[in-house]
Chain A
Amino acid sequence: MTLWPAMDKSSHTFSRQHDGALGIRGTVYSFTLVQEPPAGFEGQSPYILALVELDKGGLITAQLTDMDAAPEIGERVEMVTRKLTTDGSRGMIVYGYKFRPLIRQDTPAKSASE
């Protein structure tokens, strides 16, 4: 299962096929608290930006959300869909992925109920 665009290196094409956002887990690899936000993110500031090491391999950049305490490197997290920002004067909402602390360790990685 792939979530985000994957590069087919043999043909140098960039595919945007993806089949589902949830059930992806990882570990916090690094994080920072962004206190000088770019335009469009002022309302969320300060927010935590992180590099998450995915269980399936590789790193991904994403915000951390629903944090009760300060993050820690090595903390277990799971991917969720969240609003990223509002685009333009019409207020079109841009959704994307963030990571929250892994709550239910016992549920299977790909749960239909989520």
Chain B
Amino acid sequence: MRVSIIGAGMIPVGEHWSKGIRELASEAGAIALKDAGMTKVDALYIGNAYGATFNQQTQLGSLIAGDMNLNGIEAYTCEAGDASGGIALRCGCLAIASGVVDSALVIGVEKATDIVGAARISARSISLDADFESVNGGTLTAMAGLLMRRYMVEHGLELSLFEGFSLNAHRNGVLNPFAMYRNPLRQGAFAKAPMVADPVSLFDSAPGGDGAAAVILVSSDVAADLVPKPVFISGSSVVTDHLMLQDREQLLTLNAVRQSAKQALEQSQLTIDDIDLMELHDAYTILTALTFEAMGLSKPGEGWMWAQDGGSQIGLDGVMPISTFGGLKSRGHPSGATGIYQAVEALWQLRDEAGANQVPDARAALIQSTGGLGSTVATHILRVFPN
């Protein structure tokens, strides 16, 4: 794949009560265009998960293109629940790699604060299986609770063992001016936090919120002529698994994570050991633990060990840094936008522009955006140098 990112931008994740979805998207898109030194693109891909239920708004492509003075270009939404950002990046990559599109603006945007409380929860639950999960009162957090309890019982684990994932996320979020939550988490608080769907607690689940992030894609063949530090996308893979948990081959094995990461790495001619940092879909600590296992970085039942010692192995100077800007847990999780936040963060790492969040000598980053509890997984590999 010969696709490069030549521009990027984001707005802070938070509760933007006074801005609508179109303002959020346009702001982020404008920052990315300016970063690339461009005013026009051939195509616009929007990553958005819940515009229909949160905002009563679809056709975001037309809406945002019009607002951004890009009227007339090819533009539409790419959706796969909370993986929508990663899917939009995939759409942009395919378009550029095909040669049909020369320049693409990819914007991930979510405006959650148009809806609150139980209504927001059911508005998000549409990305579960309607006939078998949400009909029974299932929610994303409830399904995560089912995974976590089974995992803990099968392997004899207690709750505090997962704390390091959240501690690490918040330590990095403190340093990130775009993060929704910039407070450190006190050691010991995790296991005492109020339950949402036990054993998943308030300090375990990523906060929803509003946000928008954007990248500009062009062919790698022209990228170096346009900007001094283009970043290469050397691998791109989207894999699905059964949407409903009950149909998974093995409940605690995230097959789509495994396949998607494997394919993206193979395309990049890299192994997981070559990866300097990962932006994973850490919506819940159980997903992080299971993702480490699916990627072959832990044996089944041992993924939680990456959280040991307060998360020192996954810190910015650790063996495998994750959530380097706070991750979903602390930077925040504006559903459809998250995958593009990950792309911008990885790009800043690779450009050596991550400031206080910098991972030393970052040359290859893996970003992974997930829908549901591993039902759609988009993995991209970003590198400083092409293959």
Contact among A51, A59, A84 with B137 in the assembled complex (CB-CB below 8 Å): A84
Contact between B153 and A39, CB atoms less than 8 A apart: no
Q: Which residues of B contact A4 (CB under 8 A)?
A: 132
Contact between A39 and B147, CB atoms less than 8 A apart: no
Q: Which residues of B contact A58 (CB under 8 A)?
A: 246-247
| Per-residue B-contact encoding for A15-32, CB less than 8 Å = 1, 0 else | 000000000000001111
Q: Does B196 contact A (CB under 8 A)?
A: yes
Q: Which residue of B lies closest to A16 (CB)?
A: B131
Q: Which residue of B lies closest to A50 (CB)?
A: B146
Contact among A30, A36, A41 with B150 in the assembled complex (CB-CB below 8 Å): A30
A51 to B121, CA, bound (A): 20
Q: Which residues of B contact A85 (CB under 8 A)?
A: 137
Q: List the count of A-B residue pairs having beta carbons below 8 Å apart.
A: 105
Q: What distance in Å separates the Cβ of B375 from its nearest Cβ neighbour in chain A?
A: 14
Q: Which residue of A lies closest to B246 (CB)?
A: A59
Contact between B136 and A36, CB atoms less than 8 A apart: no
Q: What distance in Å separates the Cβ of A112 from its nearest Cβ neighbour in chain B?
A: 27
A94 to B247, CA, bound (A): 24
In the complex, which residues 130-148 of chain B have their Cβ closer than 8 Å to any Cβ of chain A?
Answer: 131-139, 141-142, 145-148
Q: Which residues of A contact B150 (CB under 8 A)?
A: 29-30, 51, 73
A47 to B136, CA, bound (A): 10
Q: Which residue of B lies closest to A36 (CB)?
A: B196
Q: Does A33 contact B (CB under 8 A)?
A: yes
Q: What distance in Å separates the Cβ of A65 from its nearest Cβ neighbour in chain B?
A: 11
Q: What distance in Å separates the Cβ of A111 from its nearest Cβ neighbour in chain B?
A: 24
Contact between B142 and A32, CB atoms less than 8 A apart: yes
Q: Which residues of A contact B199 (CB under 8 A)?
A: 32
**Known: A42-B118, A60-B246. Is A49-B146 also a contact (CB below 8 A)?**
yes
In the complex, which residues 60-87 of chain A have their Cβ closer than 8 Å to any Cβ of chain B?
Answer: 60-63, 73, 84-85
**Known: A31-B146, A61-B133, A62-B136. Is A40-B141 also a contact (CB below 8 A)?**
no
Contact between B251 and A32, CB atoms less than 8 A apart: no
Contact between B251 and A37, CB atoms less than 8 A apart: no
Q: Could you list which residues of chain B lie within 8 angstroms of chain A, going by C-beta atoms?
A: 118-119, 121-122, 125, 131-139, 141-142, 145-150, 153, 195-200, 244-247, 251
- A30-B153, A59-B251 are known contacts; what are 18 more A-B pairs with Cβ within 8 Å? A30-B251, A34-B139, A37-B137, A37-B139, A38-B121, A38-B125, A38-B139, A39-B121, A39-B122, A40-B122, A47-B137, A49-B138, A49-B142, A49-B197, A51-B246, A62-B136, A84-B136, A94-B135
| 18 CB < 8 A contacts A-B | A30-B149, A32-B149, A32-B197, A32-B198, A32-B199, A34-B145, A36-B197, A37-B118, A39-B122, A41-B137, A42-B118, A49-B137, A51-B146, A59-B245, A63-B136, A84-B137, A94-B135, A96-B136
